[in-house]
Structure 1
């Protein structure tokens, strides 16, 4: 069952007509009808708005988490991760924590697995690492303790990435609470600001765009907008806040504000002069170019998305998890632009770059369903791809 059929099912259970749902979202009745029939792919903005209007969880409409025998190592590892999150204040006092240098290396390894979208390996690593970091945080004091809490916040961030990718929305909220606690305990104001940036994604999922923008405003006010006075790490957090604000504005159909935020971020990236990775933000010229495309896609402007994508050339150092998401966005752009073959080509590029991420992204499922519906004859390659996703 696709998102459209799930929307129709949830709408009928609430006793609403298509017109009544459209009035409450708000959007056109035609859009609701086309999405429900599968003639038009649902956007992330529409799915979030419908979920909020109908009072259902996002996973109820996307069908996540997807199982069907895929990524079993991830799904089987979720209970262990959940237990590690729940025991945040219950360290094993009979065991000594590893040396700080070993914890640094392990967190760096976990972060690299996240960058490369290798979520099965990350899921296997995180429960033990979280337990070790929890012990270290409770048995340390002074500046080493601050650093351990910073490492713990970074490890918890790995949980949020897994939960987001695979659709464990309750786990994502729980992990975000742990990130906030560890970040504040680290006494690092930039890590706290980065955490507010991270927390804002929860408001995207609930279509609470005003709340998300308010939180991001707080980040920018905390750091300041005088680029000449900011160091590279501060510029990264500020630029990332502008990029996330651009997505919020695009979801709210405020085109001018969205691209204004992109330009502010572009100026911060120009000052940095390169792709950086402060606090795992991957901020720099490449990230700005990717977000410009994403903004156009969020507003269903396929022509602008393709124009912007055509002028982008990324270095080999770009994280696969970011590049895979970019290809998914470009695929949606080509679909809105009316070129189904190029849309599918971009999905194949996303699969080559970040397969676990691609297979579990609801917009990939929607794009493939739309291509299949619109094509007169489904190719063998498209059929194989649909089976790989677990689609009937």
Structure 2
């Protein structure tokens, strides 16, 4: 047995257990670690004992304080369990190779017409929206190789379009890396996204790259820097959505939504809610859900981010209230809906309804199984549900087995 617990979570060490181990290895007391994060000593103690789940904000804060990678605390990447997860991990070496050989295209490689490449990139993007990472990982390396060859041999407007397609395809690699918790691979993929976006000569694609880059600051608890970057994006686009194009509105609104998450992680409720309202106003100008540059911005995303902000602030009652106000349309991308259910499951747990929390995780598995299986907050939620369920019901045990927790 690797962990401090027994039962379904016994083989899988909790985040709290890892925090305690890393803290002790550095000779720190709980009080000193709390000062470095900063947070209350009581929170550190309760998370280490398994009485409270570790939030993403705490994981990032502790990782920064202990000068270690977040994956050291979450245990990512997780061991392969099951056919589909094995397929995801099996695709990673070739994806990494394609990222490393970005400036060494095969000069003898035949290149298909741009219409075929455009269709393949659209298919890759659709797989990402569906959180079908195994299938995406299998198709990406060859597509990246061919796009690299095509872009470097083209000129004029065709060259710009091919680099835009290459940037979008590289984004698929960032999605796989994020899902598996491979932060080094994600950083490498982000560099390639930024390079190809710059070569595309599309200012909005470059802005989208900066918006995507901001997520890296979440992992290091650098919330102030993330907010500065997102403000810069909005300033360059313009701060009056009534004067912006639909694609610019999406970029502007998405930057506000991400700023709301940053502010919530920093426990700044007023600022987080202010950003939500700015995004809501932008969504009204947009008139409905859209997917410019893969941003998935619109009224539905505002709703989901409002719920996420409440969860980040550990206000489960507000999260479930907000989630119940307006149903989400069936057009919401599975990757977004799955993430929403993962957030909402934590909200139900904070609210004190364990049955609803587990039911919402089942919803997440139904719409985005590969995403759900690899998300550290799913494991934390299941771990708490198992601990609170004295008899450890068969459905909980089965779900924990599906996650690979025993």
Question: Secondary structure, in 3 states, of the residue corresponding to 2:110?
Answer: coil
2:218 aligns to what?
Answer: 204
Question: Contact 2:109–2:146 (CA<8 Å) still a contact in 1?
Answer: no
Distance in 1 (alpha carbons) for counterparts of 2:38 and 2:259 = 21
> Residue by residue, what CA displacement relative to the aligned partner does 1:359-385 show, whole Å, maximum 9, x if unpaired?
100000000001111122211101100
Quote the Cα distance in structure 1 between the aligned partners of 2:29 and 2:241: 51
> 1-side partners of 2:91 and 2:135: how far apart?
10
Query: In the alignment, which residue of structure 2 is the partner of 1:36?
Result: 48
| Contact map agreement 2:80 2:89 (CA 8 A) in 1 | no
CA shift, 1:69, in A, is: 2.7
Q: What residue in structure 1 maps to residue 291 of structure 2? A: 277
What's the counterpart of residue 60 of structure 1?
72
Partner SS for 1:23: helix
The corresponding residue for 2:17 is: 5
Look up the match of 2:7.
none
Q: CA deviation at 1:76?
A: 1.1
Q: Which whole-Å CA distance do the structure 1 matches of 2:140 and 2:367 have between them?
A: 23
* Equivalences for residues 298-377 of structure 1 within 5 A: 298-377=312-391
Residue 25 in structure 1 maps to residue 18 in structure 2:
no
Matches within 5 A, 1:186-335: 186-335=200-349
Q: Between 260-269 and 68-77, report the one with greater CA deviation.
A: 68-77
* Residue matched to 2:133: 119
1:78-97 aligned at under 5 Å gives the runs: 78-97=92-111
Deviations 1:276-304 (A, max 9, x none): 00000110000000000000000101111
CA distance in 2, matches of 1:198, 1:211: 14
- What residue is the counterpart of 2:5 in the other structure? none
Structure 1 CA distance for aligned equivalents of residues 230 and 108 of structure 2: 42
Q: CA deviation at 1:145?
A: 0.4
**Unpaired runs of 5+ in structure 2?**
1-12
* 1:307-350 deviation line (CA, Å, top 9, x unaligned): 10011311111100000000011100010111111100100000
Q: Which has the higher contact order (CA 8 A, sep 6+)?
A: 2
CA distance in 1, matches of 2:53, 2:41: 15
Aligned to 1:138: 152
Q: How big is each residue's C-alpha offset from its partner over 1:34-90, in whole Å with a ceiling of 9 and x where there is no partner?
A: 101111000000000000000111110000011233411111111100010000010
Unaligned runs of 5+ in 1: none
Distance 1:138 1:123 in 2: 23
Q: Determine the C-alpha separation between the residues in 2 that align with 1:243 and 1:282.
A: 11
**2: distance between equivalents of 1:228 and 1:48?**
37
Alignment-derived partner of residue 51 in structure 1: 63
Q: Which residue does 2:166 correspond to in 1?
A: 152
Aligned to 1:170: 184
Query: Distance in 1 between the 2:229 and 2:150 partners?
Result: 31
CA distance in 1 between counterparts of 2:243 and 2:35 reads: 47
Distance in 1 (CA, whole Å) between partners of 2:140 and 2:32 is: 45
C-alpha distance in 1 between matches for 2:216 and 2:242 = 32
Q: Distance in 1 between matches of 2:93 and 2:119?
A: 25
Give the conservation status (yes or no) of the 8 Å contact 2:151–2:162: yes
Q: Distance in 2 between matches of 1:112 and 1:341?
A: 32
What is the rounded CA distance, in whole Å, between the counterparts of 1:9 and 1:31 in structure 2? Answer: 16
